[in-house]
Amino acid sequence: MSPQTFTADPSPSALSVQLGPLRLSSPAILAPLAGYTDSAMRRLCRRHGAGMVFSEMLSGEGTRRSSEKTFKMAAFHPEERPYFVQFFATNPEQAAEAARKLSELEPDGLDLNFGCPVRKIIFNQGGSALLRDVPLLARIVEAVVKAAGVPVSVKMRSGWDHRSLNAVEIARAVADAGAAWVTVHARTRSEFYEGRAHWEWIGEVKAAVSIPVVGNGDVRRAQDAVRLMDFTHCDAVMIGRAAIGYPFIFREVNHLLQHGQPLAPATPRERCEAARQQLQWMAEERGERRAVLEFRKHLLAYVRGLPGSVRFKTEAVTLEDADAVMNALRGFVASLPDEPIAPPWPTDNPMVEGSLTEPRQDSAL
């Protein structure tokens, strides 16, 4: 397959990155987030500079059985491209059949999840459970690569726990199986989402494989993305929770990479407009009533860090129609100075403050 270029940025050449056969306009990628990264959020993040977006994690078994809910979650808008469908599978046969069916939707690629730490997924021998069976994991990747008519990537953690840090072994295995690139979440399964991400593990993988490597973990601000890329030499960064209610992080990463200077944070009015657009798209997709209820978690994120947001949140979660939500949000924003306000992210993480150690090169050999 010849390289494809997807551009939403007016000057993508300074930021473009090659991931397998795809050339992206930005190395800042939206992570798949269960319950969050629906089509509306993906479109909004693309508009604000995300180089690529992913579906929420789907079930390989649900796909194999042609579950209506699964295929609704996999559906996408052309504006989202480049768009990958992420799913988890527990065996090669199931994975291959799911890949064939998902390929019929014509996404730009498929992503296999070997990182989900949720107990229900682990109990069914999916997600992070496969980190303990590298040969089976590799056979699943190989089966999907053979069955899919699109590029295949892999998202994984750095190991089951600190006694079994096998990220390099897994990355080599998936590269040999034909994966176009690998995303490394720099935590173990046992850590879930707690503690600091161990960026040095991403660097070890990058030094060990020839396929592109995407780094994931503790990217809360644009500066974190640049530090992660500089420290690990990874090809791109995946941003998850920091993008909830703040799609502007992608334009901030792009600006910092391109100009070497930070971009001012979004203003309250910009947050309000982004929220309006996201709610509108959600209502178009699933109806107003359901959209308003599901939008509440996004709305709370949109106003985090704004003066007086606690009182607004108390009111907002009682509203049940889109006009009422937006009127309340506009009224709240109108009471604030329209000046840049950054969302409040923790600053006590040693990775954020740059207290880094060099990657252990010996384990990457």
- Give the active site residues: 116
CA 323 to CA 304: how far, in whole Å? 21
Token couple for 43: 């479109």
Q: Map residue 168 onto helix, strand or coil.
A: helix
Scanning the structure block, which residue is given the tokens 């990155």? 17
- Residue 169 and residue 130 in contact, taking contact as beta carbons nearer than 8 Å: no
- 21, 52 contact by CB (below 8 A): no
- Per the structure block, which two tokens stand in for 36? 């969050």
Dihedral sign of CA atoms 122, 113, 352, 219 in order: negative
SS3 109: strand
DSSP notation for 281-296: HHHHHH-HHHHHHHHH
